[in-house]
Structure 1
């Protein structure tokens, strides 16, 4: 197959409890926010090392 989930797999995923699906959503959102924080902190650190400041 082309890597797409089958209809049976989709139906099984939809049968998961709401709290589990919301938990995954919250976990993915938290991970993305943390990744953005890390990237922004690294950029700020490199800019400060290069002599660029905000004041």
Structure 2
């Protein structure tokens, strides 16, 4: 039967602590901002392709 080494299974205190709340909020804002920019780029590409195909509203 295998034995478990207790030194390898312990989690250090530095790894167990969660990052501060403001750091998590900054990551949330950065990910949201990046997704908005990506969506804008994709929408612009589709708009350009539709314009090139002659699908204009004016």
Q: Normalising by structure 1, what TM-score?
A: 0.72
Match of 2:16 among 9, 12, 16: 12
Q: Which runs of 4+ in 1 moved over 3 A?
A: none
SS of corresponding position for 1:52: coil
Runs of 5+ unmatched residues, structure 2? 1-10
Larger radius of gyration: 2
- Give the one of 20, 34, 38 matched to 1:35: 38
What number of residue pairs does the alignment pair up?
45
Structure 1 stretches lacking a partner, 5+ long: 1-7
| TM-score, normalised with respect to structure 2 | 0.69
Cα root mean square deviation, aligned = 1.7
Task: Select the residue among 23, 26, 33 that pairs with 1:23.
Answer: 26
